[in-house]
Amino acid sequence: MKRFVAFIVFALIAFSAFSQQVNSNDLKTFCINFSEAVLSGDVEKCLEFFDPGYLKIQHQDFLNERSEQFLNEFLTLYLAFDYNDDNAKQASFRDIKSMILFEIATDNANNKIVVYFINLKNGSYYYLTAKLKIFDNNKFGFFGAVG
């Protein structure tokens, strides 16, 4: 009986660990599909790639559903400023010429860190580091700073 109980406990632990593993192909596909949505300029499609909780807090509540501002702040950062121009403004996500998936790293059991190489139409470029939340059933959602 002890062997049977030990087997059941071991099987449950193994199943639990296996169920939490992320399919790396699904993860990579998700990240590439996000960059394709960004390059297409489809705002609504881009929003589908974010953690619903983060969308609620940052996009809906804080930014009052100003979708382009939300995407601009998430994607172009403030590195896109031209500091030599007195009329400088933050770049738009629509200014992104290419967005190449560079790396996916593990942050913790529930999050990944995704790095994109982004090239803007004006020739500026930078690396975007984004956090990706992992949900059950190989579902994912980007999230970032709030406020």
34 occurs within a structural domain = yes
7 occurs within a structural domain = no
14 occurs within a structural domain = no
Phi, psi of 67 (to 5 degrees): -65, -45
Cα 88 vs. chain centroid, distance in angstroms?
Answer: 27
Domain at 28, CATH number: 3.10.450.50
- Number of separate domains in the chain: 1
13 occurs within a structural domain = no
87 occurs within a structural domain = yes
Q: Check residue 138 and report its DSSP letter.
A: G
Cα 143 vs. chain centroid, distance in angstroms?
Answer: 6
How big is the chain by its Cα radius of gyration, in Å? Answer: 19
Taking the C-alpha atoms of residue 42 and residue 132, their distance in angstroms, rounded to an integer, is 20
32 occurs within a structural domain = yes
Q: Label residue 4 left, alpha or beta by phi (over 0 means left) and psi (-120 to 50 means alpha).
A: alpha
Alpha helix (H) residue ranges in 21-144: 24-40, 43-47, 52-54, 67-75
Residue 119's domain comprises 21-143
1 occurs within a structural domain = no
97 occurs within a structural domain = yes
- Tens of pLDDT, residue by residue, the chain (147 residues): 556 444 454 444 444 444 446 788 999 999 999 999 999 999 999 999 999 999 999 999 999 999 999 999 999 865 545 556 655 567 789 999 999 999 999 988 899 999 999 998 988 888 999 999 999 888 999 999 887
- pTM summary value: 0.79
